[in-house]
Structure 1
Amino acid sequence: GLICNTNTKRWQWSDGSPLDYKPPSYDSNLDQPCSTGTSWDIHEGGYWSNGTNNITKSRTLYVFCTLQLQPPLSGDGCDGVNEERVDGTCYQVRSNAVSWQDAQGICRSLGSTVASIHSLEANQFVRREALVQGAVNGIYIGATSPSNTNTFSWIDGSKWDYQNYYPGFPIAGKGQCLAMDTFSNSGEWMNMDCNSRMGVACARKAESPHNNCTAGPWNEGQVIYSPGYPYDASEPCDYFLTVPPGKRVRVQVLLLEANTCCDRLVMEDNLLGGNIVANLTGEVTGQYYTTLSSNFMRVSWQPKGGVNVRGTV
């Protein structure tokens, strides 16, 4: 994986990292200004040899690949950057000073909505997280009053079972959006004009692991998860899918996250001994696969380790 950096004329690894290790014995070219058109290989005894790529003889060499592992998923269902769980909800604060409309877009990009708050614990947590993230001049929370009155409701449709208004707020006509004062110790709320620019608290329900492997029966439109998704992808499982005679089975892979070295999702036409419809690994999202001739499909999740990946949905 050594390549020549044409700017510095120094050897570096092909992933951009510096050459910070040299073996006990190696070709002296490793210490010289580099040039393109050459390659490196390891000989018996660990010697690093340098040669031209334009060789006339054909050679067969082994190749060793490396993969940067992703950090392990947490066990609380909140795996985003700076995302924490309170009351079964994952909260995340962004300090960008934006309008209400842009705040909604930020949360959507994180798979969340602007946060509804249902307990003192959650309110205190969101305020502390806002300070950690530098959002000291207030943040949007997810309630609005479309009629610009003093009646607010959560945009995610959840029950209004907790509130922490400043005394005298909300004030009718002052603004249709709700903000938390992160500068105050108690994180009190006030209504604001929706064009005001401040940070935003986002929230989503924490994911729960799907622990069981079962062959079915599965119904049309039902979502199927690999065992342990999204925290553990190491358990194999076969799924047997059936539609009425004369029809074909069509499956959408909403998400596949598998190690290309080891883990596979295999779909077969029929339940046993059928043609392969798909043999998938790596990352796949939103793709459809249909049986060729049968009203049966066997879907087989075949991990060999399932290390630091989520599995499939």
Structure 2
Amino acid sequence: MVKSGSIGVLLMILLFGSGNFLKLEREFVAGRTNVTARCSMPKPCNVYGFTDWYKVGSVCVKYFDRPLNFTDAEFNCRTKVPGAHLVSVHEEKHNDYLLCIVKKFNPNNLRIWLGAFELFKSGKFLWLDGSNWDFQKWKHGEPSHMYNSIEECVEMNWHEPGKWNDHACHVKKNYICAFKRNAILKPGSEEME
């Protein structure tokens, strides 16, 4: 028969092991842990005038720490750069880059709008920039639009970093804008080295 005190000690050993968990927690609270340490940040955008944006595939992206509803976030992106939209995601690596950008600029609030929405409650999602829906990274059990008819817009980092969720479009969130690098370059101009 096992004594109840032994179970408590066993649970403590299993939960906290060698104490590294407690050390990590203290360092994080003290601000000494780099939240992007495991992230691979993308390179700065190499289009003149947009070096505070990041290059992710064929687009340049920028994080905006200004919570807006989905529609206002999209329109704000359009005012930043001709042809800009809320970001679309087409590869795992690009999804990881976006997560790292958000962690760098706002590690305490990772939720952001992506540029996708459900078309007329059909269960089909589309990107605002008109690109193909060729990649998705839903959190398990999502999208849940079939159970909640008001969740028609797509967010990232709800309950699980890097994963997507459908959510009510009227909710205010931070967001990432994107523009195609080649759309900004004027004929005869060059990208920065």
TM-score, normalised to structure 2's length? 0.65
Question: How far is 1:144 from its partner?
Answer: 0.7
In structure 1, the residue corresponding to 2:114 is in which secondary structure?
strand
Tell me by how many angstroms 1:75 deviates. Answer: 7.5
1:129: which partner in 2? 101
Question: Which residue in 2 is equivalent to 1:188?
Answer: 163
Unpaired segments ≥5 residues, structure 2: 1-43
Is the 1:130–1:182 contact (alpha carbons within 8 Å) kept by the matching residues of 2? no
Residue 172 of structure 2 is aligned to residue 197 of structure 1? yes
1:84 equivalent in alignment to 2:54: yes
**Correspondence for 2:125:** 152
Could you tell me which runs of 5 or more consecutive residues in structure 1 were left unpaired when the two chains were aligned: 1-73, 211-223, 233-313
2-side partners of 1:188 and 1:161: how far apart?
16
User: SS where residue 127 of structure 1 aligns?
Assistant: helix
Equivalent residue letter for 1:155: L
Match of 1:176 in 2: 152
Deviations 1:81-105 (A, max 9, x none): 5311121211111121111111012
SS in 1 for 2:182: coil
Aligned residues: 144
Task: Map residues 34-113 of structure 1 onto 2, 5 A cutoff.
Answer: 76-77=46-47, 79-80=49-50, 82-111=52-81, 112-113=84-85
Give yes or no for contact 2:103–2:110 (8 Å, CA) kept in 1: no
- AA aligned to 1:190 is N
Q: What residue is the counterpart of 1:30 in the other structure? A: none
1:139 and 2:112 correspond: yes
Aligned counterparts of 2:127 and 2:64: Cα–Cα separation in 1: 19
Relative to structure 1, the CA distance from residue 120 to residue 166 in structure 2 (aligned partners, 3 Å threshold; closer, same or farther) is same
What residue number does 1:66 align with? none
Structure 1 Cα separation of the partners of residues 142 and 45 of structure 2:
39
Mapped contact 2:45–2:60 kept (Cα < 8 A): no
Pairwise CA distance, 1:209: 9.6
TM-score by length of 1: 0.42
Larger strand proportion of the pair? 1
CA contact (8 A) 1:78 1:85 kept: no
Q: After superposition, give the CA deviation of every residue in 1:244-282 in whole Å (9 maximum; x if it has no partner).
A: xxxxxxxxxxxxxxxxxxxxxxxxxxxxxxxxxxxxxxx
> Which protein has the larger Cα radius of gyration, Structure 1 or Structure 2?
1
Amino acid at match of 2:139: Y
Q: CA deviation at 1:77?
A: 2.8
Cα RMSD (Å) of the superposition? 2.6
Deviation at 1:184, TM superposition (A): 3.0
* Sequence identity (%): 21
